[in-house]
Structure formats: structure tokens, C-alpha cells
Amino acid sequence: MKTDICVLCRQHNPLCKSHVIPNSIFRGIFKKASGKAIALSSKEDTPIAYSQESYASRLLCKSCEQKIDLNYEKYSLNVLRGIEGKTSIEEKGVKFKDINTKKIRDFIATIIWRAHHSENDVFRIIKIKPQQQEEMRLAFLINNPLSNSSYKVIMYKLRDSTSNGFSNESFRDYMMTPFIRKNQFGRTSYNSYVITLLGYFFELFIPPVGQTIPNNSFHLCNKTHEYLCPYIEILDIPEIVQVLGRNIEKQKTGLSNISS
């Protein structure tokens, strides 16, 4: 096993093959697709192809890997899979009750933070400023919640209300690697980081250092145990529409390695 510096504890240790996006999500997708998950790339010249890629890279030592898994990942995935907490379907979204919102918001932050450190090509666009990276590292190291006033996570439930559109079930097997959006705060611009997981769409806002973003009624506040997760129409997400559109074109022009 390669020995290097763990990005969380900064100790010299053998590093594990860490997954930026939890491996169980990939395992679920690959299993349902009988090992033939389809990868749609946003790049114009990359053909539609089968994929078994789960984007692992050597980032964390064993103990830190377990820390992230136990403190954030396991619980959050259980909530998203309906194993922890209670859910009810409401007109405006899915209502979660009896959940630990702190863990879910910090789980999303751990994904983005790991993506920042990963050398895998698909995460190259994910960059976090040094001060915020360090703030996140220290919070994850001692399992301290990220500041509620600066880091905001909005979680949406994906849906498609068009006729003959995507089913709710199909969204669970749809995974988009993280990407960045540019936002404006007064005259300062700042990034938000977007990811889809298990049929949910998350946006993590990291404001300029020392500033806070005005509260959005829908953010995952770390002081409550419930959350009304609003619906978002998949075709209202420009980045997804762009990737789908580009890949429909590829299909038409034969830029595809998938046998139909």
C-alpha cells in the first residue's frame, strides 16, 4: 500500500483507495445495470459508453476513512434511502422528520472537500479556497459541525413532471459528478458546488471568507431535526439539460459505444 500524507489527519500513513462519492452508490447502480452503467460525458468528443468507474483515489488513511464513514456517510445515506428518520410526501416536497440535518449537510461538504483533493480528472474543476479547505478539514477531523451561518446546503428532490419523462426510480440510478456554479454576493463572486445523489440534488454554498449568505428557507439548518425537501424539476437544471442535450446529439450522430 502506498504511504503518503493523509489529507485529513496530515500524518504519514498508508493510504486507502478512497471514494469521493460513496462506493455503495456506484455498487447499487452497477448492480441494477448488470455492470453496464452508462456514462454521459459533458465533453463534446467523448462517446457515450458503458462505465464501471467509481472515481477512487488515495486520499485518506484507514482511520480517517472510517471516521468519515461513521460520522457522516453511513447515516446520511440511510436517511436518503429512507432507513433513518421519517418521510412523508407533501405538495411542495418530501418532508423529513427526526433526522440529524448536521450530518447530512456536513456529509455533502465532505464529498466536495474530497473532490477538491482528488487527482481524478472528473473532479479537477472542484476547487475550494485554502482557508475554507482548512476550516473544513478541522471540522471533519474532530467531528465538529461546519458553521451554520456560513456553509449552506440546499437539498432538493429531483422530479420530472413531463409526460413520458424520467421516473422517480430512475433518478436514484442517475449520478452526476460535482460541478461548480458562480454566485454573486454584492460585488464579490463565490462558488456553490452541486451534486446529485440517490434522486436528490444538493447545492453547497461556500461564501467569501468572513461573510454569510442570506438565509434561504430551504437550507438544511443544523439546529432542527426536520426538513421540507422541495422538488426540483430535472429540466429546470441548466447543467443537466446541457449534458442530456449534448448526448442526444451524440446518439444521433453515432458517437456512442452502446449497442442499442
Chain positions contacting Zn ion, by CB under 5 A: 6, 8-9, 61, 64
CB 84 to Zn ion: min, Å: 26
- To the nearest whole angstrom, how small is the minimum distance from the Cβ of residue 24 to Zn ion? 21
- Residue number with CB closer to Zn ion (7 or 77): 7
Alpha-carbon distance of 84 to 237, in angstroms, equals 28
Q: Which is nearer to Zn ion, 140 or 201 (CB)?
A: 140
Contacts of 176 (CB under 8 A, 6+ apart): 194, 195, 196, 239, 240, 243
State the residue for C-alpha cell 442530456: 244
Shortest Å distance, C-beta 69 to Zn ion: 13
| Minimum distance of Zn ion from residue 236's CB (angstroms) | 40
Q: How far is the CB of 70 from Zn ion (least distance, A)?
A: 14
Q: Which is nearer to Zn ion, 61 or 111 (CB)?
A: 61
Give the span between the Cα atoms of 37 and 31, in whole angstroms.
9
What the block records as the C-alpha cell of 163 is 409526460
Choose between 61 and 109: whose C-beta lies nearer to Zn ion.
Answer: 61
Q: What are the percentages of helix, strand and coil residues in the chain, rounded to 5?
A: 35, 30, 40
Q: Minimum distance from CB of 61 to Zn ion (Å)? A: 3
Q: Which is nearest to 153 in space by CA: 216, 240, 230?
A: 216
DSSP 143-190: TPPPPTTT-EEEEEEEE--STT---HHHHHT--EEEEEEEEEETTEEE
Q: Are strands 93-97 and 227-233 parallel, antiparallel or unpaired?
A: antiparallel
By C-beta, is 89 or 142 nearer to Zn ion?
142
**Nearest alpha carbon to residue 226 among 39, 99, 89:** 99
16 versus 25: smaller Cβ distance to Zn ion: 16
